[in-house]
Chains A and B, each alone.
Chain A
């Protein structure tokens, strides 16, 4: 199996530069997930690796070949599209075998390959149907089958599950994880979905405005984000950000009626008067925390297993507090949200992590 390497990759559409210098190394057999807000260039980057877009600068390396000028079909990649992009006039069998037929593979061999892929994806009974006679999940599996049949070195997925309903999405997510185990190929996967990213990835790449913000394992990014953007992007519900100014060794919060919280990991490292943003994840609130913040519940969401309370204290910020025993909460309740100051993260005015 091949890895993929991007070196100083840039891409412009006319005057607009959408990929602004990306360096990235993906190891063989790694499952890498690209995440980032809409329009940040995830699809473009994936299409660059596929060879569907030319680059303005830099090198794309698959295996040990620079593939800048190599045709998509000769890069050893296969791609699964968000819209599935199945050929509507062909049966499932022909859809899956099309690339092989085109590459001049003998008929019996194509049939064998298609059967094998159909077996892996449980599509055996659907081989003679056309795409419009299939459900969304089945179409998605055919699209994956079409990719498998080509025996690619690298699989590329562009938001493959976003057209499926929630239940099917969970199911297909597990399928894809199983597939990765079974096929042992390199996978690059674009998604909007937090859970997909966290559960599938060996490595997450967070993109913003055409540059990489941070690369790391899901838990690395969760526990140790390099900046406020990554901290806010990874984790759901989002991390709480509390603006404040350092005063006498603690942070005077701007939106909580003059309350103060300890500086936790950065205490003693920042001078008075520094503007900081404190970050605390909703799930890090708990009854045993030594730091406290008095707030009033505004909205309460009971999810059964856990409860999310959206609380404030008259200011512009809303604090999301997660609880395991919050069934008694009602809007309007006043309470003290407790947390362990060691869990706090701090960011400076540029959004960079202070530690």
Chain B
């Protein structure tokens, strides 16, 4: 976001510069340019370098990586073969996708409906309930972990997909996000739909959902990443190897007695790809959604 703001500002600065005397050298303006571009380059470097390091790592042996070798090597296929030999990657990927997709879909359905309802239905207790929800955001997950585990054990759900997905569905932050977004949803559109004969749930499905696409796109990315990268809770409830997710695999590879960092890097790249792909697919809508436009 700040990157965009910066780019805009320098853009107008440059444009303004053209209209004033372009020939004269202006030291202050020049220094400002140097400073801004320096800062941008630094930011770009800081955010891109880990990706570069990760990619380089996949092609080097563990020894080279530990030594800090920063250029591409020829160990790629060996690392890949090793990874597939050590871990049932298709199964683990399936687990990750299954959990993340199902959790994302359910979260979006439940939490967006809740956010919509909070904004649209008037009730005496609405604000109090909502405040209570927001307050719950401040309870750290570590404090919920043990009781949650005991609960799951009580109903025999340990080591199941349900145990991972169920607690994720009612996402308070996403409810909040959708409530805020709903404030920008024109109420006259809802009135028009009511006159056209739609019930509230039909308005939600047939008008709200298509109109709020970009909000959903942004939420999809956020929720998918949250679930895809979820670590602590799956670590506790998923106990057998055939239930593990990619993130758990990376961590167990990395915490082996002698970690093979080349293999870890390959696993990391595989884990990073889906979120990148989803981000690029939904990117345009995502930006709109974060800016909160309804159109």
Contacts and interface: CB of A to CB of B under 8 A. Distances in A.
Interface of A: 47, 50-52, 71-74, 77-79, 81-83, 85-89, 98-99, 102-103, 132, 146, 150
Contact of B186 (A73, A83, A89, A102): A83
Interface stretch (B102-110, B193-201, B226-234): B193-201
Contacts, number: 57
Contacts of A83: 186, 188
B192 interface: yes
Contact of A98 (B191, B196, B211, B213): B196
Nearest to B189: A85
Interface string B190-232: 0111111110000000010011010000000000000000000
Contacts of A78: 195
Nearest to A103: B197
Contacts of B67: none
Given A79-B195, A85-B191, 18 more contacts: A50-B191, A50-B195, A51-B194, A51-B195, A52-B194, A71-B194, A72-B194, A72-B195, A73-B198, A77-B195, A79-B191, A85-B186, A87-B192, A87-B193, A87-B211, A88-B211, A99-B196, A102-B198
Main secondary structure of the interface of B (DSSP, over half): helix
Interface of B: 186, 188-189, 191-198, 207, 210-211, 213, 294-295
Nearest to B197: A73
Contact of B207 (A73, A87, A150): A87
B295 A88 contact: yes
Contact of A85 (B188, B198, B294): B188
A291 B79 CA distance: 107
A102 B197 contact: yes
- Interchain residue pairs A-B with the least CB separation, the first 4: A73-B197, A99-B196, A85-B188, A85-B192
- Residue among B188, B195, B207, B211 with max Cβ neighbours from chain A (10 Å): B195
- Residue among A50, A81, A82, A86 with max Cβ neighbours from chain B (10 Å): A81
Contacts of A132: 295
Contacts of A74: 197
Nearest to A79: B195
